């Protein structure tokens, strides 16, 4: 028998299909299906509102207000199917092995409840609550059948949390902040802080938050992380990554509800460059190539060093350090062997787990260890 963990992706695909997501359809076919679901009048209003949104004359919420059923809503996002599935799988993976029985889970910006229902089914021993600011979507979600442990609540999380909502142990959010849809005209950091402040109000101390956002560039990422820290969240660098689909990638950020200093700027820069670094250095460099590249690294700072005995009997001296936005481990032997591994600076702490002479619990890496208490 296949274990549940090994068939998550096909099971999630079936769940999405049953919820009304349209698979294997062209954009024209998706538009035709949405038109049939909405009817001519509402589809015309939908098209006009989309055009107004593109011109900055309407907000995303004006589009969302036109949808009355979960199937209508889920059909709308069928054009973003790859991103929907990839993000949902990442969020599912973050909760699957870190959520104790009895936890309270919240999906922020749940729409018509597709992911909320999935999470409730995967965590039957937990209370799972989906919240959204759109009354029509909450009503649509409540009309859909689902697990007994799921519920939905109306909440605009830029406003104070309703007393009826608990404080949660686990929070997830899939594209729940639209950084291009700010009617107040705040700075990006202020805009992010306003949202993360509401999320912090709904979180227990030391709760975990996993969020995937449409962040176009490093400066916006810095603003979002700064806003989150100002609101009382700490970025967990080692648990953050990117969700990648062909032609796009989305920062997937993990936080703990606890105050801490904002991460070192080089760490965030390295996190943003993580995919490029992995693409450029898919393997360790050896011998002359390793020596030449190590010499070329500028601004090297050695964090730790010590002997390493390999399983084939060779003893090397290994150093772990940083160079700008890179982390590295560099091993050499008296007989001329050399090995250089390049990693993103955000992952430099992980190198310590490979060596007995390093204490992986010691937060000594120039403040680069932000919080590894996941």
Tens digit of each residue's pLDDT (9 = 90 or more) over 181-226: 655 578 889 999 999 999 999 999 999 999 999 888 888 889 999 9
CB-facing half-sphere around the CA of 77: CA atoms within 13 A? 25
Distance CA 374, CA 369 (A): 13
* Residue with more model confidence, 279 or 284: 284
Q: Which two tokens stand for residue 129?
A: 């609550």
**Confidence band for 364, pLDDT divided at 50, 70 and 90:** very low
- Residue-level length of the chain: 374
Percent of the chain with pLDDT over 70: 86
Q: How many C-beta atoms lie closer than 10 Å to residue 325's C-beta?
A: 20
Q: How many C-beta atoms lie closer than 10 Å to residue 12's C-beta?
A: 19
* Residue with more model confidence, 88 or 313: 88
Highest mean pLDDT among 113-117, 313-317, 344-348: 113-117
- Cβ neighbours for 212, distance < 8 A, ≥ 6 positions apart: 87, 90, 91, 173, 174, 175, 243, 250, 251, 252, 253
Q: Is 22 helix (H, G, I), strand (E, B) or coil?
A: coil
Q: Which two tokens stand for residue 98?
A: 């870190």
What are the chain's domains? 4-77 (no CATH), 79-277 (3.40.50.150), 282-354 (no CATH)
Average pLDDT on 146-163 reads 95
**Confidence band for 275, pLDDT divided at 50, 70 and 90:** low
371: DSSP letter: -
- Cβ neighbours for 189, distance < 8 A, ≥ 6 positions apart: 223, 224, 226, 227, 230
Listed residue (295, 225, 216, 310) closest to 263, CA to CA: 225
**Confidence band for 368, pLDDT divided at 50, 70 and 90:** very low
The average confidence (pLDDT) of the chain is 85
**What integer pLDDT is reported at residue 374 of this predicted model?**
31
Indicate whether 372 pLDDT > 60: no
**Confidence band for 357, pLDDT divided at 50, 70 and 90:** very low
Distance CA 334, CA 230 (A): 50
Query: Does residue 170 contact residue 99 with C-beta atoms inside 8 Å?
Result: yes
Distances (CA, A) of 49 to 58, 63, 135, 220: 7, 6, 19, 27
Indicate whether 1 pLDDT > 80: no
Helix (H) or strand (E) holding 130: strand 127-132
Listed residue (94, 167, 102, 156) closest to 131, CA to CA: 156
* Residue with more model confidence, 293 or 122: 122
Helix (H) or strand (E) holding 172: strand 168-174
Q: Please give the model's pTM, rounded to 2 decimal places.
A: 0.78
Q: What is the CA radius of gyration of the chain?
A: 23
Distances (CA, A) of 34 to 12, 47, 175: 22, 11, 21
Q: At what angle do helices 114-122 and 81-96 cross, to 10 degrees?
A: 30
């Amino acid at each position: 028998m296949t274990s549940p963990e090994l068939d998550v992706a096909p099971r999630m695909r079936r769940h999405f299909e049953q919820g009304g997501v349209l698979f294997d359809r062209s954009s024209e076919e998706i538009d035709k299906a949405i038109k049939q679901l909405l009817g001519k009048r509402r589809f015309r209003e939908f098209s006009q509102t989309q055009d107004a949104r593109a011109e900055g004359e309407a907000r995303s919420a004006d589009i969302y207000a036109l949808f009355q059923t979960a199937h209508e809503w889920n059909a709308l996002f069928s054009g973003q199917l790859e991103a929907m599935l990839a993000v949902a799988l990442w969020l599912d993976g973050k909760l699957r092995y870190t959520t104790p029985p009895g936890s309270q889970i919240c999906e922020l910006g749940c729409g018509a409840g597709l992911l909320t229902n999935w999470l409730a089914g995967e965590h039957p021993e937990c209370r799972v609550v989906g919240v959204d600011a759109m009354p029509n979507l909450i009503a649509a979600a409540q009309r859909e059948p689902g697990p007994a442990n799921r519920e939905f609540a109306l909440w605009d999380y830029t406003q104070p949390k309703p007393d009826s909502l608990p404080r949660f142990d686990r929070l997830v959010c899939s594209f729940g902040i639209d950084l291009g849809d700010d009617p107040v005209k705040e700075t990006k950091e202020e805009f992010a802080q306003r949202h993360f402040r509401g999320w912090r109000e709904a979180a227990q101390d030391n709760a975990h938050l996993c969020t995937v956002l449409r962040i176009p560039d490093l400066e916006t990422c810095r603003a979002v992380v700064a806003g989150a820290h100002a609101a009382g969240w700490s970025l967990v660098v080692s648990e953050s990554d990117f969700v990648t689909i062909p032609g796009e990638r989305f920062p997937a950020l993990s936080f703990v509800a606890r105050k801490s200093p904002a991460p070192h700027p080089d760490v965030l820069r390295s996190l943003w460059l993580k995919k490029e670094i992995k693409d450029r250095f898919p393997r360790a460099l050896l011998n002359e190539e390793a020596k030449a590249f190590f010499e070329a690294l500028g601004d090297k700072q050695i964090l730790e060093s010590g002997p390493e005995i390999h399983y084939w009997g060779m003893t090397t001296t290994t150093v772990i350090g940083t160079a700008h936005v890179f982390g590295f481990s560099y091993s050499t032997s008296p007989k001329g062997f050399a090995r250089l591994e390049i990693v993103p600076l955000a992952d430099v702490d992980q190198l310590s787990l490979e060596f007995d002479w390093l204490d992986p619990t010691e937060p000594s890496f120039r403040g680069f260890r932000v919080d590894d208490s996941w």
